Chain A
Amino acid sequence: MAVTVRLSKMPMRRRLVNTLTRVVVALGGAGVIAAIVLIFVYLLWVVAPIFSATNIETGLAYDLPAGDTLLVTTNETDEVGLRITRSGDATFFGVSSGRSSGFSSDLKNTEQANASVSDRSISLGRTLERVIEVAGHTGLYAAVDTDGAVTMLQASYPVAFDDDVRVIQPSLDYVFEDDWLEVEASGALDVYYGDFEVRIAKIDRRSLTIHQYRDAEPGFALELPRRGRLQLDTDYKRVLFGPRGQWLYLLGVDGTVEILDIARPTAPKSIYIGRLVPENRTATAVEPLLGRYSLLVSDDAGLVTQWFVVRDEFGYQFKSARRFELDTPAVRLVPEPRRKGFGAIDAAGHIHLFYTTSQRSLASADLVTEDVVFASIAPRSDLMLTAARDGTVQSYHLDNEHPEISWSTLWSKVWYEGYSEPVYSWQSSSADNDFEPKFSLTPLLFGTLKGAFYAMVFAVPVAIMGAIYTAYFMAPSMRRLVKPGIEIMAALPTVILGFLAGLWLAPIIEANLSSVLSIILVMPVGVMVCAWLWSRIPDGITRRFDGWYGLMVLPVLLLTIWIAFAIGPWLETQFFGGDSKAWFLENWGLSYDQRNALVVGLAMGLAVIPTIFSIAEDAIYGVPTHLVNGSLALGATPWQTLIRVVMLTASPGIFSAIMIGLGRAVGETMIVLMATGNTPVMDLNIFEGMRTFAANIAVELPESEVSSTHYRILFLTALVLFLITFAFNTLAEIVRQQLRNRYGNL
């Protein structure tokens, strides 16, 4: 009969403390798991949206005054919409309320413009032919009237606070003082404004005219234009400015395209003539993509193709990089204003969303209204507005946060604008707004593995061999010093290793490349010679030094390093023609960076040696002595015993040591950051640098905009790192637990 402890007799307080302690301690234990799960789940939670599906939802229909719509657009925050009609009336309307009242509008320079102001709309006072978006400048529009005069308009949406209520007072202003430019445009035209220069190109069948207004300052009058003219061989019906106004795309009736170089607008020069669609097809719509590097072309077979200029050895080529297929031909293409995506409206009344870089077909939906005469996508790409022939305006909500990413964009080659072929590239940001971000993780993964590989090539032999000697041969009194000594190296901050590698070691290696390379040969040979000489000394003397070789070999190592540096200059002239770096470039095609994989391999190797050494040493040292003694008793030499018995038994432990070391090398940040150039190149060349996941995060995350695609991709790389090391560590831990069981059985 067991003795029952009657806890009920204990004072309340003691019992309470006891229970409370148990609860708190149990919570603490669970807290460890909670922490690691939280890290994983949080990273996943940030990453998840980039793989979420795109949605199109039908929004409000707006009841605006009747009119033939030439433009509908919204402001930055999707609060105020603007419509301009053929009769020259501009109306602001509330996007979420659907009403056109509640704004007081004002047109500056009212008298000069001869425009009337009402409480909800403004009249430009002229009948308009069309309204187009100005190239090179988002948010500017050019209106063309029936007489061929052009003006540039800018809608602004200043926010004021009236009794703590946010009020937007939109206005539509002329950009330049002398509002209407009489350019006598009878055919098609396009307007570019950038770098304080306005360019207007008009095409009338075969004659092209370019007006160049220099020193264009908003709010001031434009100076008299300089004109350039060109007579062409074929008829063209449309003209579009290219990137930064340096090119002109001319589009013919039958799908021909001609590209002109107008770096000097007074002397345009043809650089390419070709076709956008096959002979038997016609182009149904052509629109430029953001930045105007690319043209999107839809044909009557339902194909939408992306074209851009590639410069190769044959000069300029206009290449079709990718295609999107539709069941029904697209009649209208709607580019996104801030990204390289676009919408397409087909003849059967559907909207489709696409993204070029990732070549994704994102979503489709039915149009609510028929006869769409105009469509646009809001600046933040979360709203689409369509205008029907009868004047009604309809909105569609787009849930389309991260279209530029797909699994294949992250890991496969992608054909970026202006590149002659698909490539792997990581280039996340640029000063340009119309820059196409390149988010291929492959170069980073490659760099991560490259760095880890070179580190392991150096660290594994040194650490494992060192562990063997320390655990198996070393005198105990020396081992007591050596083991903690090397383990202290694990505590050495990697920032110090990185600093020494980058600022001290890298210049030394660069100046003495042949010496450093010769160490690989000289050092083992030197040690061998020393061992041979040692074996010639009678046993009686040498036996006393058994177990102290590790210390005795130090002078030999220093001597070999000295020899290597002494023969370096001789090697340099003898084998490398006086310059080893040039020799490697000429003979093996290896270019040399000062901060390269060799430096990283040495520094990071040094950082992981203690980790591998310590665990491997424990595993070898833990091999039961009766196994060793048995082997020795059977007549095996110590070396045979080591190879056949000890190493075999300890191999799982050594494996786990290597895994943990690898995990550390993969995630090391500071050394890579400081000892390489951090260029995301894909080249195994040991004399070039790389960019790893970890270094990339350290460099880019502080500057990345929260919740942007870039931010989420950086979190994705952190998650990948987490998973890689998680796999290595869990594997190592499982192997180690099995090892523990095995030793238990022996």
Chain B
Amino acid sequence: MVKKDGLKLNAWFASGEPWVWMNAAAVGISIAAVVGLLLLIAARGFAHFWPASVAQLDVEFPNGVSGVLLGEIADRESLSANQYLESTGQTTEALEPEQAVVERWLIKTGNRRVAPPDFRWVATHYIQAIDYPENALVLERMEWGNAYGFLEAVYQDGELSSEGEGAWSDLENRLKRSVGLRVEIHALESGELNGINYALERLRLERRSLDRRGTVDDATREARLSALAEEENLLLASFQDAESRLRSLEESLARDSIRISTSSGQELEVSLSEILRAWRPNSMSTPQKASHYLRSLWIFLSEPPREANTEGGIFPAIFGTVMMVMLMSVLVTPFGVIAALYLREYAKQGAFVRLIRIAVNNLAGVPSIVYGVFGLGFFVYFLGGNLDALFFPDALPAPTFGTPGMLWASLTLALLTVPVVVVSTEEGLTRIPRSIREGSLALGATKAETLFKVVLPMASPSILTGVILAVARAAGEVAPLMLVGVVKLAPSLPLDGNFPFVHLERKFMHLGFHIYDVGFQSPNVEAARPLVFATALLLVILIIFLNLTAIMLRNRLERRYRGVEA
């Protein structure tokens, strides 16, 4: 290396050593960005489910007003005195003398209906005392978000059941009962009632089809119509029966109620039909918190969203994403593999192959939104519109396939990910030594037999790599999906118990779009933000897992062929 003793600054610059450091810094920035982003998402995403302590703050404002706030500390930040005054629109009286930096906390106080807003910033120098009362209660409610307060009494059918100390264990027992009831209600709604509705809709369509087509003679038509009417009556009867059972379950759920007092001294009556969960974080031990954490995580993964997607789980989004990428893999794999086979095994290397390569590269480089536009115009309106006119004229003017949906989204993304599969498969095919193919041909196998029995099995890991990478790409893609089938809230899953079980025409939810929608379109961004981080974390884990699998697969492949090539 360069001699350093007595080196002048100029010479040091001329040696290029500082520029090497600058280049190293560029790598450092990239590494720091990747690691930092992942850590940020992980920290925020994982932290969301941990039951936060509930703090009771005695606050006294400079204008003499004082009060008590009960809630979770959601965020902390420090601002310069100027920024603080500007953002809150206050005068210097709001500060302590000589104060240059203001630290403030974001308190999630919940109780959105009785004491909005549910989030508020409090500067720490207003806080006189902080306490973590053992019996502070958190209620997760069906509507209006969390409630914070102290349990006063438990009622059954309006009669006092317990009060004071014993109330908490009483409430816990009653919550167990309501969980059971809720499971029954859910089964009834999504199973029986949903099935009856679906059957009724099919009857309606069949009747329309009878009315519309002149091909059936009057007698058979009448017979069929009366059969339909009979069937409909049966369905309606069972519908009413199921509905009355539902109503009685709901009444039974609303049997119990509790009374809580909030930090502002208000008394609040809450029916147990409103309460999903209740816990007292300040008196929980670490194992209890851990079990609460796992329960919350499970609810997040397994339940549908509530409250305009800002609460509850993301199960439909996970389901939609998985089903969409599976369908897409089925579509993209044959196309991509065949194209790669053509390029490597069949085509004469020349202008045409170069053209195909340019096409593949361009397919990879065309912005995803352009695929979305193409998918909407060609698949949805053109293909879908024509399919409707041919096969589903009874439902018109309500479109069946002529509207964005699962099938079109999968097709669009299949087109988008073709290059990934082509490139990866080609790479695998290149690695297979010529001698192996020639050996097969020499033994009398035809070219097709060589392909199926020798080449493809050997290339299968690289095909798999390609498909995994394609899946990873598709799982994270949002822009085209916004046009061809993703919605913020899908009423039903694309897979259910109603014939024909797979409903490819339905719209679906998607993890990536969920992030966009909840983070940017939601009415209460502050409340939704932790949920968005959790969703983002899930998506990132999924995609990194897929990519790492692909990389590992590729590395193993490399090692395997090193032996063959030698």
Contact = CB atoms under 8 A, between A and B. Distances in A.
A467 to B, nearest CB: 8
Contact of B4 (A18, A43, A535, A663): A535
A28 B479 CA distance: 27
A579 interface: yes
Given A26-B342, A729-B365, A721 B449 contact: no
Given A493-B512, A670-B479, A737-B354, A553 B25 contact: yes
B478 A670 contact: yes
Contact of A667 (B77, B338, B370, B476): B370
B1 interface: yes
Interface stretch (A146-154, A192-200, A482-490): A482-490
- If over half of A's interface residues share one DSSP class (helix, strand or loop), that class is named, otherwise mixed; here it is helix
A602 B363 CA distance: 26
B61 interface: no
B519 A31 contact: no
Contacts of A302: none
A706 B18 CA distance: 59
A55 to B, nearest CB: 25
A494 B32 contact: no
A707 to B, nearest CB: 9
Interface in A512-551: 523-524, 527-528, 530-532, 534-536, 538-539, 542-543, 546, 549-551
B561 interface: no
B358 interface: yes
Nearest to B20: A473
- Number of contact residues on B: which range applies? 35 or more
Interface stretch (B175-183, B196-204, B535-543): B535-543
A22 B363 contact: no
Given A502-B519, A694-B369, A543 B1 contact: yes
B17 A469 contact: no
B477 A493 contact: yes
A504 B366 contact: no
Interface centre among B339, B364, B382, B415 (most CB of A within 10 A): B339
Given A28-B335, A572-B80, A674 B519 contact: yes
A557 B32 contact: yes
B23 A468 contact: yes
A551 B28 contact: yes
Contacts of B346: 22, 25-26, 29
Given A469-B23, A531-B17, A494 B476 contact: yes
B536 A536 contact: no
Contacts of B443: none
A557 B28 contact: yes
Interface in B426-454: 446-449, 451-452
Interface in B186-205: none
Interface stretch (B34-42, B88-96, B224-232, B497-505): B34-42
B472 A553 contact: no
Interface stretch (A57-65, A374-382, A430-438, A695-703): A695-703
B26 A469 contact: yes
A519 to B, nearest CB: 10
B520 interface: yes
B25 A669 contact: no
A557 B342 contact: no
Interface string B512-527: 1101100110000100
A108 to B, nearest CB: 30
A270 B116 CA distance: 51
Contact of B536 (A499, A556, A610): A499
Interface stretch (B251-259, B305-313, B372-380): B372-380
Contacts of B34: 485-486, 488-489
A698 B483 contact: yes
Contact of A491 (B1, B24, B476, B515): B476
Contacts of A39: 366, 370-371, 374, 415
B544 interface: yes
B21 A534 contact: yes
B362 A726 contact: yes
B117 interface: no
A628 B203 CA distance: 78
Contact of B449 (A14, A24, A474, A493): A14
A57 B214 CA distance: 38
20 contacts: A24-B338, A25-B346, A36-B366, A42-B382, A473-B20, A488-B544, A489-B34, A493-B475, A493-B539, A495-B478, A495-B513, A496-B539, A500-B536, A503-B525, A528-B21, A550-B24, A553-B27, A606-B37, A664-B367, A729-B365
Given A667-B369, A722-B370, A726-B366, 16 more contacts: A29-B338, A33-B359, A39-B371, A466-B23, A474-B27, A484-B551, A486-B31, A486-B34, A502-B520, A527-B21, A550-B31, A554-B31, A637-B16, A701-B372, A726-B362, A729-B361
List of 3 A-B pairs having minimum Cβ-Cβ separation, nearest first: A667-B367, A639-B16, A28-B338
